Structure 1
Amino acid sequence: MHGPQPCDAGQIQAVRAPADAPASAATRRWVLVATVLGSSLTFIDGSALGVALPTIQNDLGGGPAATQWVVNAYLLTLGALVLVGGAAGDRFGRRRVFLIGIGVFALGSIACALAPDIHALIAARAFQGVGAALLTPGALALIGATFPPDRRGRAFGTWAGFGALFGMIGPLLGGWVADHLDWRFIFWINLPLAALTFVIAIRTVPESRDPEARGLDWPGALLAMAGLAAVTWALTAAPDLGWRSPLILASLLAGLAALAGFLVAEARQAHPMMPLALFRSPVFSGINLLTLLLYFALGGAMFFLPFDLIRVQGFSATLAGAAMLPFAAIMGLFSGLAGRLADRFGARLSLSLGPVIAGVGLALLAWPDPGAGYVDGPLAGMTVLAIGMTLAVGPLTAAVMGAVGPGQTGVASGVNNAVARVAGLLAIALLGVLLSAVFVARADSPDDRALLGQVMAGGDLDSVATDAFHAAFRAVILTCAACAVLAGIIGGLTAPKRERHGLK
């Protein structure tokens, strides 16, 4: 799901309090308005697009791999550059970088809306991800730089509350647009929001910098992006080209070499974007492994679920979007309560029980047979998944910030957020391989990969192909469930027993 990430609160708390006179109440209100509107671009766009993907594939063509890259291209640039984006704001001006991010995201949205084919859309989505990598940490930093420490908790709560609201609106909007208009309107909607945000930020948001900001780790960012891109491409293309293809083997080797180079660069950089010393803390390493597994499960399930709901269960895109409502509603309404429970009983209980409950919810999503309705279909699974995620996400911030020194909380929170985004990227690629393998084993067709593309695009298919896809979807969802349960086990072994929240 696209929305606030696990350690967003930690990134706000880590911003140095301004040394000059505090901002006026009016300025603080306008900063909050600008950051909410700017963040809504990524929240609405990402959540709306997921439900519209089957329609996009049907319209633009392209096989399963190309459809995966519509999401992966965005996650790739966002995940690789988000840490650099935050550092750039500290050094060159948070408002400036935030505005540049808004502009880049808006231009990317225009390119998406005008894309003549699936490959152009993929390229435009990668450009959008660059904009998101600048505006997302920029919004959090602006809140931290404008609000004094004792007011940041309420400001973050307002920002996150609107994020949950946009998380509810996005899937419904995407489904309705896909059913009644043209999926391209999902991207055109971004333009008036971007223009309004730009005007408000220019007129009302003060500029701020961190006088102690350090250099930008461009070598690390580029190596991470190159390595992830090569590995992800190999995983998504392997079902079509074969695992023994020289292109696949070369891409895997090049990607692994680039990622190894990234680790070497981070060890040698004076100001690395991901200080490896942070991982000397068993708690920090454990929490990030938990985050990787939990958001792998969530990202994979939310990508493939709309295809099953629309192609197998017979949902309209609008109804498929409505299936996401329990998730956003429960997380938005009960995140505060989950945080108070973690304060009282300790983070370890929440970080072990929450992911296990989320795993049960994911397993319930695999239960309904083809043709199930809303109530006997996704409702129970999405509700239980939301309860588990709500329990788990709140304590993550406290656990991450408590695992490192006071001067490292900002970068530690940023690393955890980047891990959550990269987890979604890896999930779509790896689970796509599993989906294809199970479908090919179950389908009776001379060209199984082409048939899989037809199922995902909504062609007229027989019951054998539909049942094969549903079996493949079940394998994917049960794998996601197992990853969530494993995340809970890791939380029980590594999470602190009792932590105080960084934000009050």
Structure 2
Amino acid sequence: MRKWLPLTAVCLGAFMLLVDVTIVTVALPDMAADMSTDFAGLQWVMDVYALALAALLLGAGSLADRIGRRRVYLGGLLLFAASSLACGVADGPAALIAFRAVQGIGGAAMFATTMALLSAAYQGRDRGVAFGVWGAVNGAAAAAGPIIGGLLTEHFGWRWIFFINLPVCALAVWVTLKAVAESRDPRARGLDLPGMAAFTVGAAALTYALIRVGENGWTSAATLGLFGLAAAAFAAFVLVELRGSRPMLDLSLFRSPVFVAVMAAGLLLSGAAFSYLMYVSLWLQSAEGMSPVGGGLVLLPMSLAGFVVAALAGRLLHGASPRLTIGGGLLLIGAGALLQAWMLDPGDGWTALAPGLLVSGVGVGMATPALAATAMGTVAPARAGMAGGVLNTARQLGTALGIAVLGAVFHAGLADGLGGRPRELADALASGGAGRLLAEPGAREWIDAAFAGGLRDTFLVSGAMGLAGALAVALLVRRRPAAGAPVPAQGGAPAGAPAGAPAAAPASGRTSA
């Protein structure tokens, strides 16, 4: 059994990453009540973690290739543990958001190395078994996260969703020191610091602009200035990658229409399938009066359906065209969101969402494993690690941007549904204050109408994102790409995984350039 200790070390880290995303979703209403956090603050608690992952993932992979993957993984675990403790004792929303960003940095170091460590530790059949177990653990984490988060929040308080990471980190560090060997890439080049800086500034400016658009407006000087900064930073990133001697991203990969389709699909899948869940959680707990555990259970149909379908799709649809698996999956994700928009009326409860969540979960299960395999199949084996890293980055960025875009839509829908009442009430509802407002006579009717309007608009935009991804795949994927790196079908991101699910395991063991 000693040979499976490296797998144990890697799975502990991956489990923590995914549980931390879904745990926070169900704890947001309690955070808002305890820390008097406004709506933008709640968005940042979720967004800054995904943003740090997206911005630093490729750079962390490059650093790991150069100085050692085990070393970077251990550093990520220690930073994740320290920042989790800091999140748990944070005395205000600003501190919590800052420490969540640090947590994302630690998560990026772990995220960028887990697949490479497994590839270095196992060969042949053992590698396939390892990635199968790894995928199953990730899927279980995504499904268990809302329940664990609900139990901890309900019985011990929301701070324990961060404290629970400490013993898991300690165990992961001990097993890693005991059983995981160091590995490096002898051909690794230096870090692309200008590229990392430009991408980080661009992604942060774009996300911030979208989060603040509800308050500032789309045409305000602040919003336009932030969009301009984001455009300039992304343009600088492209120039750096084209002209730099050590680019972390080979832009020539985007000459392949299939690769472009896969990256667009990864970005839109995360935005369409998972980004609205925080707003659903706010509604369920603040307006419907559900407990954190109950709110977590409502989200299970998507996670469980995705997990089961992914396991079946890896076997039954292994040879199918990406137009069917990825395009069809995105079509179902879009249809599931639209079904929720159609079924939800003022006064309805959580049961109106269950069919749509189930349909979306089936779509996630179909599309996610095929995303990984197709990304690898479009590039030469030497670029498999970079392709996996770019896909992971696209998915994290999709989560961050999805939360910001849908937050603006949700807030606007709440305001429109107030029926002429002060728009300040939309801020209170979006910040988890519905329970307090329900004490007013006649408030139930207009609160139900406001949430129904906000959520319907959110689901409609989510559905449009899913359908747009399906259309992109249909137009750009003309044939099944030639086989690239031999990635096990079950090694893709598990179906139920929201923001942080890894994309694939590169056969070369590398996760970035």
Question: Could you tell me the TM-score, scaled by structure 1's length?
Answer: 0.90
Determine the structure 1 residue equivalent to 2:257: 282
CA separation of 1:248 and 1:373: change in aligned 2, threshold 3 A:
closer
1:196-241 superposed Cα distances (whole Å, 9 cap, x missing partner): 1111111221111111112211211111111111221122123223
Contact 2:31–2:37 (8 Å) recurs in 1:
no
Provide the rounded CA distance (Å) in 1 between the counterparts of 2:349 and 2:227: 42
Contact 1:62–1:453 (8 Å) recurs in 2:
no
Deviates more, 1:447-456 or 1:293-302: 447-456
Determine the structure 2 residue equivalent to 1:29: 4
1:313-354 superposed Cα distances (whole Å, 9 cap, x missing partner): 443221110122222222323323212333333222112211
Q: Please, which of 62, 82, 85 is the counterpart of residue 110 of structure 1?
A: 85
Provide the rounded CA distance (Å) in 2 between the counterparts of 1:112 and 1:157: 32
1:303 deviation in Å? 2.6
Instruction: Give the counterpart letter for 1:272 in structure 2.
Output: P
Determine the structure 2 residue equivalent to 1:464: 446
Q: Please, which of 231, 239, 250 is the counterpart of residue 256 of structure 1?
A: 231
3-state SS, counterpart of residue 95 of structure 2: helix
3-state SS, counterpart of residue 274 of structure 2: helix
Q: Once the two structures are aligned, what percentage of the paired residues are identical? A: 35
Determine the structure 2 residue equivalent to 1:420: 395
Determine the structure 2 residue equivalent to 1:77: 52
Unaligned runs of 5+ in 2: 489-513
Provide the rounded CA distance (Å) in 1 between the counterparts of 2:318 and 2:19: 31
Q: Please, which of 147, 167, 173 is the counterpart of residue 198 of structure 1?
A: 173
Provide the rounded CA distance (Å) in 2 between the counterparts of 1:189 and 1:404: 40
Provide the rounded CA distance (Å) in 2 between the counterparts of 1:171 and 1:481: 23
Determine the structure 1 residue equivalent to 2:158: 183
1:180-211 superposed Cα distances (whole Å, 9 cap, x missing partner): 32100000000000111111111221111111
Provide the rounded CA distance (Å) in 2 between the counterparts of 1:317 and 1:155: 34
Deviates more, 1:299-308 or 1:180-189: 299-308
Deviates more, 1:314-323 or 1:339-348: 339-348
Q: Please, which of 94, 116, 119 is the counterpart of residue 141 of structure 1?
A: 116
Provide the rounded CA distance (Å) in 2 between the counterparts of 1:228 and 1:277: 21
Instruction: Give the counterpart letter for 1:487 in structure 2.
Output: G
Determine the structure 2 residue equivalent to 1:330: 305
Determine the structure 2 residue equivalent to 1:483: 465
Determine the structure 1 residue equivalent to 2:486: 502
Provide the rounded CA distance (Å) in 2 between the counterparts of 1:393 and 1:489: 17
Contact 2:344–2:456 (8 Å) recurs in 1:
no
Provide the rounded CA distance (Å) in 1 between the counterparts of 2:213 and 2:359: 34
Q: Please, which of 119, 140, 145 is the counterpart of residue 94 of structure 2?
A: 119
Instruction: Give the counterpart letter for 1:486 in structure 2.
Output: A
Contact 1:314–1:371 (8 Å) recurs in 2:
no
Contact 1:311–1:455 (8 Å) recurs in 2:
no
Provide the rounded CA distance (Å) in 1 between the counterparts of 2:158 and 2:248: 36
Q: Please, which of 228, 243, 257 is the counterpart of residue 268 of structure 1?
A: 243
Alignment of 1:34-45 (within 5 A): 34-45=9-20
Contact 2:9–2:176 (8 Å) recurs in 1:
yes
1:370 deviation in Å? 4.3
Instruction: Give the counterpart letter for 2:295 in structure 1.
Output: A
Alignment of 1:344-383 (within 5 A): 344-366=319-341, 367-374=343-350, 376-383=351-358
Determine the structure 1 residue equivalent to 2:511: none
Provide the rounded CA distance (Å) in 2 between the counterparts of 1:342 and 1:111: 44
Instruction: Give the counterpart letter for 1:502 in structure 2.
Output: P
3-state SS, counterpart of residue 345 of structure 1: coil
Contact 1:343–1:498 (8 Å) recurs in 2:
no
Contact 1:313–1:370 (8 Å) recurs in 2:
no
Determine the structure 2 residue equivalent to 1:303: 278
Provide the rounded CA distance (Å) in 2 between the counterparts of 1:343 and 1:165: 22
Contact 1:313–1:371 (8 Å) recurs in 2:
no
Determine the structure 1 residue equivalent to 2:143: 168
Provide the rounded CA distance (Å) in 2 between the counterparts of 1:410 and 1:496: 24
CA separation of 1:339 and 1:133: change in aligned 2, threshold 3 A:
same
Provide the rounded CA distance (Å) in 2 between the counterparts of 1:126 and 1:323: 28
Contact 1:351–1:492 (8 Å) recurs in 2:
no
1:395-421 superposed Cα distances (whole Å, 9 cap, x missing partner): 112211111122111101110110011
Deviates more, 1:493-502 or 1:452-461: 493-502
1:227-262 superposed Cα distances (whole Å, 9 cap, x missing partner): 111221122123223445443333222222112111
1:297 deviation in Å? 0.6
Contact 1:294–1:355 (8 Å) recurs in 2:
yes
Provide the rounded CA distance (Å) in 1 between the counterparts of 2:71 and 2:450: 51
CA separation of 1:240 and 1:272: change in aligned 2, threshold 3 A:
same
Provide the rounded CA distance (Å) in 1 between the counterparts of 2:400 and 2:371: 20
Determine the structure 1 residue equivalent to 2:414: 439
Instruction: Give the counterpart letter for 2:101 in structure 1.
Output: A
Deviates more, 1:471-480 or 1:450-459: 450-459
Determine the structure 2 residue equivalent to 1:410: 385
1:300-321 superposed Cα distances (whole Å, 9 cap, x missing partner): 2223221222234443221110
Determine the structure 1 residue equivalent to 2:76: 101
CA separation of 1:450 and 1:252: change in aligned 2, threshold 3 A:
farther
3-state SS, counterpart of residue 319 of structure 2: helix
3-state SS, counterpart of residue 440 of structure 1: helix
Determine the structure 2 residue equivalent to 1:315: 290
1:373 deviation in Å? 4.6
Instruction: Give the counterpart letter for 1:261 in structure 2.
Output: A
Q: Does 1:65 align with 2:49?
A: no
1:248-296 superposed Cα distances (whole Å, 9 cap, x missing partner): 3332222221121111111112222221110001110111112222221
Provide the rounded CA distance (Å) in 1 between the counterparts of 2:422 and 2:347: 26
Provide the rounded CA distance (Å) in 1 between the counterparts of 2:232 and 2:63: 27
Determine the structure 2 residue equivalent to 1:157: 132
Provide the rounded CA distance (Å) in 2 between the counterparts of 1:413 and 1:260: 23
3-state SS, counterpart of residue 437 of structure 2: coil
Provide the rounded CA distance (Å) in 2 between the counterparts of 1:482 and 1:454: 25
Instruction: Give the counterpart letter for 1:281 in structure 2.
Output: S
For the aligned residue pairs, the C-alpha RMSD in angstroms reads 1.9
Contact 2:287–2:447 (8 Å) recurs in 1:
no
Provide the rounded CA distance (Å) in 2 between the counterparts of 1:386 and 1:188: 30
Question: Could you tell me the TM-score, scaled by structure 2's length?
Answer: 0.89
Deviates more, 1:111-120 or 1:224-233: 224-233
Contact 2:276–2:406 (8 Å) recurs in 1:
no
3-state SS, counterpart of residue 343 of structure 1: coil
Determine the structure 1 residue equivalent to 2:455: 473
Alignment of 1:202-217 (within 5 A): 202-217=177-192
Instruction: Give the counterpart letter for 1:503 in structure 2.
Output: V
